[in-house]
Every structure is written in C-alpha cells, then in structure tokens.
Structure 1
C-alpha cells in the first residue's frame, strides 16, 4: 500500500519537478554566458556606485564578487532560482494536506488502510529529494556553462557544491513550515497566503538584523539567516558552516513535517465546500 502512495505522490509532483529542472539548467547556463559578456570594469563600476548599506547586506566582501567565481555565485541568490525553489516548497507543502482536503481526495484516501502520518512522511521525503535534485541540476548547468564558455580565469565549480546544498535545504525547511500550516487549514489558498507572508517576513527580518547593529539578535528569529550560499563558497570554514547551517535547516524541515503529521493524525477532515 505504501508503494501505491509513493506512486501517487511521484505522479503528482513529476511535472513541476521536470519543468523546474529544465528551467534551472537553462538559466544556470545562460547566467554563465551573460557573465562572459560583462567586462570586469563594468562590474567594478557598478559595485563602486552601490551605497554603503548595500555592502552591509553582502555576506562576503564586494571584492570577492569581482572574480568570475564571485559573479557566478550570484546565481544562488538570483530571483529566478529563488522563485523556483520557493515555489517547489510552497506547492508541495500546501498540496500535502490542505490541497488534498480542498480537492476532496482525502475523503477517499484516508479511508485506505494506511496510517495518516504516511500521507506526510512520503510526500515530505519526495519534497526533500526533489529539492536536492533541483540543486544538482542547477549545479550541472553551471558546470556545463563554465566548461563551455570562457568567463576569464578558470572557475572551480566544486566550490558551488555546498551552496547548492544550502539552497536545497532552505527549500526543504520552508516546505516543512508550509506543511505545518497546511495541516491547520482546509483551504489551500489560505495556506499559500500565510506561508508566503511568513517567507517574506523571514527575509525582511534577516535584512533588518544585518543592517541594524543593535538588532543583530533578530537573526535568530528567521530561518533565512541559515541561507548563505555565497558565504559557503568563499569562507575558509565552509565545511563547518555548511554542516551547522544545513543541519539546522534540515531540523526545521523535519520538525515542520512532524508537526503536520501530528495534526493530521488528530484533526477531523471537513467535507470540501
């Protein structure tokens, strides 16, 4: 019976995964190509024009971003990959419980001889593996681009491994948060709205903590503080920092799914209106 649940979940997720993977690979390759067209002097002039508060928002010194590796590292915080990874977490987390309730499928599925937590743990596992696959595809696009296109000095793409993993773990953590919210409502739209607001709030809190010296403690209130892919590329202690950040993000995602499983096992399933 669990294998049938796995087949259903994979069938439900395959198109989002395939489309997102194709877009990430193409964008990563194009990002490398676009960087090859930009002259170093232009990059330097742009960085010099930025106000001081923008430099404070950068996780690494601005001079690091002038190198080919630094310029390409921006792909991990670019709006396009962020939308695809956050979208993966939002769609998968909201679909898990509130989406199934709203569609009316849980009225039938929960009558099967399958423990209710299985409907959280299997989708959660697929969500995690999907985020890792998307991160691998993004890295593969960078690898192909850096080996096909000259961007100045050679780029060591192995330095991007930990950054890609950090992006995947951020998506898994947010999926866990979204799943816990999904377990509390029977409206998928409400789940999406609340989760999106929480994500935006987490980003804002992270930025405020970085800009406001007296409010540095605020960083502990945002899971996005643990999302620092560029820091993992340039830090001398990237392995230690990666273990700390990615393990913490993994715990957040796991706890979120455990909360969702506990709520689903306890709550009544309303009839969709």
Structure 2
C-alpha cells in the first residue's frame, strides 16, 4: 500500500491544485481593472507577510540562504509560469486556460524520467494517459480557434514542470516554508520592474480580492512544496489533473462557460486517471 508520507504528499498536491483554481477565478475578475503583470507581482508582495505565521519559530532570517542559484532558478521558472497563467486567464475562458496548463503533469512526468531518473511503473503512465485524454476532451472547443495565447500557455505549463523539478531538487535539505518564501521574495524582485511602467493603483474595493489572491498564493505554494517534498514527481503529477474538473465547474457556475457533454466525459477520464495513479503502490505490492 502507499506509504503514509507519500499519501500526505498527494493530499498536499491536491489541496494546492484546488487553491490555485479558486485563486485563478479571483484573478480573472481582478484583471478586468488591474493589469496582469501588476496582479502577478502583488500576489507575491502580499503573500510575504503571511509567511510570518507559517515559518517555524526556530527559523532565523538569513539573506544568504535566498541568494543561491537553485532558489533563483526555482523562482525564475515559477514566476515566469505564473505570469503566463495570469496573462492567459485575462484573455481566454477559464476552462481553456486550465486545460492548457494541465499539460504540466505531462512535462513533469518526462522530466522525472529523463532528468531526475525516477523509476516509474506502468500504472502512473496509464493514469497520465487517461488524464491527457480527459484534458484533450475538455480543451477541444478552444483548440478549434488556436491563438498565440494557447502557445504561451503551453510554454507556461512547461515552465511549471521545471519549477516542480527544482522543488524536488532542493526540498531534501530545505523547509517547504523557506522555499516558498524564497520564491515570493524573488518573484517580487523580478516582477516590480515589469509592472511599474503600467501600474494602476487599485481602488479600495479591489484590495480585499488582492489580499485573498496573496493568501491563496501563499497557501498553494506551501502545499505544493510540501507535497513534492513527500511524494515522488511521477506519483504526484497525475493529481495535478484534479484542477481540470474543478476549473470546469467554477467556469460554469461563476462565468457562464457552459461545458459540453464531451467536456464532462473529459472530467470522468481525469478522475479515472487520478484513481489509477493512486492505486500504483497497491498494484506494485
């Protein structure tokens, strides 16, 4: 059966995915009045104070810790992926963006095999295959009208998989909260120069949504980092597909993006793929 530690890791990954769905729906609303690059950097800036509540009491702030090449690359890949996500959310339907970005587990799986040299069984491949088929079923209405934003989204998904790979590389020696805080600090430094030229000061009624985005961003990063600290990349990747049916439901309820029967078939395939991935260790044992 699945070890308790890896099972907790899969739960963290699922929780992170659902938090990202909620955050994405709020971002879609906020970007109607605030430029996407500004929303991206405010997410990072407003997340930093919340880390005071999640960092272990024994931790001391050491700036040198955050200036390593590994933390820089993790943050560069992660922030670039997030910026492409926000840009696509502000332009495309939420369900289409979700489907595009859920190619991340495919990239992650390939990286785990060819870069991290992680061993994989048959069941994760089967789970990813069902998840991929479900993703294609959900994205098919938007794929008919291909645009540059779909290409940008695929690039963002690939960058997201590089982010997960870097988390796996540095999580063995660093606390998840410190890794996530490092990402927010680097993201703020990277994002401010890009956002300032088109800065629009938010009105008072937008600030609660921005703070909520920051809070959800912090929680999602901590959960994601904890998840891939406990679970192998090849085991956790299929569970990122959980965001697909969740985004489809949110888009239907909140943004009147009505799903087709083929999309719901995609949801079934996604859930089936995740269930097969969860059963991997049972089959192996």
TM bucket (normalised to shorter chain) is 0.3 to 0.5
Greater gyration radius: 1
Give the TM-score of the pair, scaled to structure 2. 0.33
Larger RCO (CA within 8 A; separation ≥ 6): 2
